[in-house]
Amino acid sequence: MTDAQARLLLGAPVAAEIRASVRDDIAAFVARRGYAPTLAIVLVGRDAPSAVYLRQILKACEMAGIGGRLVEIESGGTSRTDPDLEARVTAAIEALNDDPFVAGIIVQMPLPPSVRLRTIIDTIDPAKDIDGIHPLNAGLLRLGYEGFLPATAHAAIEMLHRYDVPIAGREAVVVGRSNVVGMPAAFMLVREHATVTVCHSKTVDLAAHVRRAEILVVAAGRPGLITGSMLRPGAVVVDVGINVVGDAIVGDVDMDSARSVAGAITPVPGGVGPVTNAILLTHLVRAAVAQADGAPA
């Protein structure tokens, strides 16, 4: 490495600060209310990688003093062999909606083909939708009102805040237009007065758009999509991609070439990921307080 290497924006210290604040908030909540709120995670079918990731969230809950519950719903196979799967998933979510001790609900994606995403999203109580997937929370974000934000997109923007990256007036480019990362991140950047371009699989001359970015958020799910030759010198790069290549986990940005051009960059792993889990806990606290007070979150 040379002196020209970009500054690494590490997620671990940011996540540690957030978790410490959450622990204090939960201790105060318990002292006032007499119970700890619970985060419920719904996992449909046996998915080993998902189970590992979700247990990391549950471990973070335990460390913060939050109750954690993994609701595993077995899948009998295809829609033909398990026609009741969607009904069982919605019934489980409705039970969690009605549980006063459950303050937040997460449904792990992707779902089996026989379970309609829209049905599941619509079933979650918006007040407990701490990952911001319900249409009500998505609409609140788009209109600039307070709702629950998708945690990964929120974490990407939080990294900019925590590392004192100016946003207002900057040229920002978001690569990826998913409803859970790309578009929410774009809306948040607009809300903070950046000039935002959203690129996607149909964008012509992606490199020309990326080269204008002072802030670049990449969430396309394609390893090595962005290379150093595409970057504006000194750009701040937030890599949200998580891809398994061989035995390694890599982002959407080619780190080797990007570090010699960018001014700052989040690594994968170790960047946005840890902050996402910590952000979820802050959403849980907010939901718990609002529900206990009988007020909108």
Residues 166 and 96 in one domain: no
Query: From CA 54, how far away is CA 44, in angstroms rounded?
Result: 12
CB atoms within 10 A of CB 248: 10
In a domain, 65, yes or no: yes
In a domain, 224, yes or no: yes
| 111 within 8 A of 119, measured Cβ to Cβ | no
Amino acid at 96: L
- Strand 171-175, strand 215-218: pairing: parallel
Q: Which of 91, 126, 161 is the last residue of a domain?
A: 126
Query: From CA 221, how far away is CA 264, in angstroms rounded?
Result: 21
Residues 118 and 157 in one domain: no
In a domain, 2, yes or no: no
Query: From CA 143, how far away is CA 156, in angstroms rounded?
Result: 20
CATH code assigned at 83: 3.40.50.10860
Cβ contacts of residue 163 below 8 Å, gap of 6+?
9, 264
Query: From CA 155, how far away is CA 141, in angstroms rounded?
Result: 15
In a domain, 23, yes or no: no
Q: pLDDT tens digits, the chain, 297 residues: what are they?
A: 445 799 999 999 999 999 999 999 999 999 999 999 999 999 998 765 566 678 889 999 999 999 999 999 987 655 455 779 999 999 999 999 999 999 999 999 888 888 999 999 999 999 999 999 999 999 999 998 989 999 999 999 999 999 999 999 999 999 999 999 999 999 999 999 999 999 999 999 999 999 999 999 999 999 999 999 999 999 999 999 999 898 899 999 999 999 999 999 999 999 999 999 999 999 999 999 999 998 776
CB atoms within 10 A of CB 139: 12
220 three-class SS = coil
Among the listed residues 97, 121, 126, the one whose alpha carbon sits nearest the alpha carbon of residue 109: 121
Residues 57 and 159 in one domain: no
Query: From CA 241, how far away is CA 255, in angstroms rounded?
Result: 12
171-175, strands of its sheet edge to edge: 7-8, 264-265, 236-239, 215-218, 171-175, 195-199
Per-residue model confidence (pLDDT) at position 78: 53
Residues 178 and 262 in one domain: yes
What's the farthest any 2 CA atoms get from each other in the chain? 60
State the pTM of this model. Answer: 0.92
In a domain, 12, yes or no: no
Among the listed residues 216, 123, 126, the one whose alpha carbon sits nearest the alpha carbon of residue 173: 216
Q: Alpha-carbon torsion 175, 17, 19, 130, what sign?
A: negative
Per-residue model confidence (pLDDT) at position 51: 67
Q: Which domain holds residue 166?
A: 150-272
CATH code assigned at 193: 3.40.50.720
Per-residue model confidence (pLDDT) at position 2: 46
Residues 61 and 175 in one domain: no
Tell me the angle at which helices 182-191 and 135-143 cross, rounded to the nearest 10 degrees: 30
In a domain, 289, yes or no: no
Q: Which of 94, 126, 158 is the last residue of a domain?
A: 126
Domain count, the chain: 2
| 279 within 8 A of 158, measured Cβ to Cβ | yes
CA 189 to chain centre: 15
Residue whose structure tokens are 């051009």:
261
Per-residue model confidence (pLDDT) at position 167: 98
In a domain, 279, yes or no: no
Residues 91 and 157 in one domain: no
In a domain, 278, yes or no: no
Residues 181 and 263 in one domain: yes
Residues 181 and 231 in one domain: yes
Residues 194 and 261 in one domain: yes
Q: Is 219 exposed, middle or buried (0-12, 13-18, 19+ CB in 10 A)?
A: buried
